[in-house]
Structure 1
Amino acid sequence: MSDTTQAGRRPAAAATAAGARPARGFDLAKFLIEGRAFFALIVIVAVFSILSPNYFTVSNFLTMANHVAIYGLLSIGMLLVILNGGIDLSVGSVLALSGVVAGALMQGVTLEAFGVILYPPVWAVVVLTCALGAFVGAVNGFLIGWLKVPAFVATLGTLYVARGVALLMTNGLTYNNLGGRPELGNTGFDWLGFYRLGGVPIGVWVLLVVAVVCHLTLTRTAFGRWLYASGGNERAAELSGVPVKGVKVAVYVMSGVLAAIAGLVLSSQLTSAGPTAGTTYELTAIAAVVIGGAALTGGRGTVRGTMLGAFVIGFLSDGLVIIGVSSYWQTVFTGAVIVLAVLMNTLQYGSRGTRG
């Protein structure tokens, strides 16, 4: 090979080594796929605003956002689990069980030995309910992280256990009138569901605070880096010193706590709590995460995308109700959106041969 030929190849090799890449034009398909949740939300708002004059109003948006708060809280917890490469099918049942426990506490705790009924303050009910969610999450994390039970099987089991306990506690009935007691008047339990701060429902504020905290945790802390690393390649993360088992338990605990908070918000909005609440909500949470662009294989996803996914599902469901679409067709439309989101998820990540 001549010196001239070798000299001509050296700059190209140097440019390649330096990371130079050929210029590429604007990729419209990639842009639409990666921004699918945002564009879907814009289309939904535009279409329903045309179909119903009552849709595009501030009051209706705030009402819908209050409904979305339930989905959003569950979805953020589900995002943390999916980033870790897992799944949590128990969140809907934990939501129901948390609401039932809160309702039972608000009805009063009877101490038969002393012949008195104790009415715990609302803050104590909130703390105890969140502790219950953390306990269920810790059980899931222990089964999956330490005993190596597949996440699908473990959380499917706790789904049935939590729902069954809720049914046993209530005998299939519902706790009503949680916002007030004849003995004490207003309990304050409806504060999460009906009160507003700056014109915005408290439930929406709760969702925003949780979203900001989780976003900062994922992007600014060592735990966030550990979570993405263990979800992308668990074995490599473990060899790098990441406490993989501890991270796994932590994300399921956080998912359980957020499900409990969602149960409190929903019960407060309805001023009632029943054992059948939250049925199929786990699927809605998974759908929101997928619509938001997270990879079901783990290691990819953002709180911002998940929030958009939750708003897409919430605004679509409420819009169909406003224009009077049958509940059966609502299920069909929601399912179609989920299938489309999974397809786009496959287009976005399926061709990438590695995880993480």
Structure 2
Amino acid sequence: MKKIIKKKEFGVFMVLVALIVFFSIASPQFVQARNFFNIAKQIATVGICSVGFSFVLITGGIDLSVGYQISLDIVVTAVLMNSLGVHWVLACILGMLLGTGIGLLNGLIIVETHVAPLIVTLSMMTILKGISYLITGGLAIFKFNESFVKLGQGMIGGVVPISLLFLVAIIVIGIFILNKTVYGRYFYAIGNNVEAAKLSGVNVKKIQLMAYGLCGFFTSIGAILLLSRLNSAQSSTGDGYEFNCLTACVVGGVSSNGGKGTVLGAVIGCLIVGVLENGLAIMNINEYVQEVIKGLVLLVAVVYDTMSIMKNEKVKKIKAINAEN
């Protein structure tokens, strides 16, 4: 197992195992096969979005607009299918183009204006929230083609959720991009040291733009699966997903300071968030208590990440001083 999962990821994986054991003991309903497949369906969107989100974090950025990117993708795709009569396949393709375009727009504003990604994407989140509401008027859109609904609700052989297969495919693509392409190496290089990356000949603007574009693309896929699973579109559907994605990535070892992390780690973090939410819900824990717990989990993960970086920098300085002496 340790050969497949790196040391830090192995520690996170053991946290996941501990959570599963705890909830299995606390509630017999948790260990039912149906519940595990239910968790798989629930985390599909967050898992897919987290793959794209991890690219942005690794380059040293952040995208707080992910939640309402999901909302707008869902609303537009739903209107295309329900109100305009567009075939669901074409509607999904247009929805993915929209999501990719939003991601590229975020990246373009950031690289051209040099405004902090936090501010740009927070502003974009508010814009997308308003547009989503204006399109729907606050009303739900529902009743879609049965073939489309099967994407999020269907099962293969009555056992494996189709959405799980989409998640696995995206994970494989994400791992390939980070580990087997030059762009993956560039993501890490920019996250570790932007100036050094520039001096090495890396087109920083292009790579950052690519990271945000991929984030938007993967987010749109997650949004379409969520629409299919819910069989309903509302302007507030994606609210809070940016927090879940950030939590999943940071808990999974993707550094909020950039330059570190893996797709596999982000997915393990996503599983931790999914298991935590599901287990607490089964135990009938108050919704607001759940929010407090998730917030604490994110806080602990960020503090741990920051302290680890400070410790590593301190060790490097001590080694440098000893080498000089």
**Which TM-score applies when normalising by structure 2?**
0.91
**Could you give the per-residue CA deviations for residues 233-278 of structure 1, whole angstroms, max 9, x where no partner exists?**
1111111111111111111011111111111111111100100011
Q: 1:194 aligns with which of 141, 153, 175?
A: 153
**CA separation in 2, counterparts of 1:65 and 1:102?**
23
Gaps of at least 5 residues in structure 2 are 1-6, 317-325
**Counterpart of 2:88?**
122
Q: Which moved more, 1:305-314 or 1:34-43?
A: 34-43
**Counterpart of 1:175?**
141
Q: Is the 8 A contact 1:295 1:349 kept in 2?
A: no
Q: 1:320 aligns with which of 266, 275, 280?
A: 280
Alignment partner of 1:331 is 2:291: yes
Q: Is the 8 A contact 2:76 2:95 kept in 1?
A: yes
**CA separation in 2, counterparts of 1:269 and 1:200?**
14
Structure with greater proportional helix content = 2
Task: Map 1:200-211; keep pairs closer than 5 Å.
Answer: 200-211=160-171
**Counterpart of 1:150?**
116
3-state SS of the aligned residue for 2:142?
A: coil
**Could you give the per-residue CA deviations for residues 88-147 of structure 1, whole angstroms, max 9, x where no partner exists?**
0000000000000111011132xxxxxxxxx22111011000000011111101011122
- RMSD value over aligned CA atoms? 1.7
Alignment partner of 1:69 is 2:44: yes
**CA separation in 2, counterparts of 1:34 and 1:255?**
22
The offset of 1:59, in angstroms, is 1.7
Task: Map 1:26-175; keep pairs closer than 5 Å.
Answer: 35-109=10-84, 119-175=85-141
The amino acid that maps onto 2:67 is G
**Could you give the per-residue CA deviations for residues 179-216 of structure 1, whole angstroms, max 9, x where no partner exists?**
4xxxxxx4x22021111235321111111111111101
Runs of 4+ in structure 1 over 4 Å off: none
Identity %: 34
3-state SS of the aligned residue for 1:297?
A: coil
**Could you give the per-residue CA deviations for residues 25-69 of structure 1, whole angstroms, max 9, x where no partner exists?**
xxxxxx6x6644212211110011011111112221111011011
Gaps of at least 5 residues in structure 1 are 1-30, 110-118, 180-185
Q: Is the 8 A contact 2:92 2:224 kept in 1?
A: yes
Q: 1:266 aligns with which of 200, 223, 226?
A: 226
**CA separation in 2, counterparts of 1:86 and 1:323?**
36
**Counterpart of 1:21?**
none
Rg comparison, structure with higher value: 1
3-state SS of the aligned residue for 1:55?
A: helix
**CA separation in 2, counterparts of 1:336 and 1:39?**
19
**Counterpart of 1:113?**
none
How many residues are matched?
309
C-alpha spacing 1:34/1:121, structure 2 compared with 1 (3 Å): closer
3-state SS of the aligned residue for 1:266?
A: helix
The offset of 1:167, in angstroms, is 0.3
The amino acid that maps onto 1:178 is F
**CA separation in 2, counterparts of 1:230 and 1:304?**
20
**Which TM-score applies when normalising by structure 1?**
0.83
C-alpha spacing 1:157/1:42, structure 2 compared with 1 (3 Å): same
**Counterpart of 1:253?**
213
The amino acid that maps onto 2:203 is P
Q: Is the 8 A contact 2:72 2:131 kept in 1?
A: yes
Q: Which moved more, 1:86-95 or 1:340-349?
A: 340-349
The offset of 1:227, in angstroms, is 1.0
**Counterpart of 1:351?**
311
**CA separation in 1, counterparts of 2:16 and 2:308?**
19
Alignment partner of 1:212 is 2:182: no
**Could you give the per-residue CA deviations for residues 63-90 of structure 1, whole angstroms, max 9, x where no partner exists?**
1011011111121111000000000000
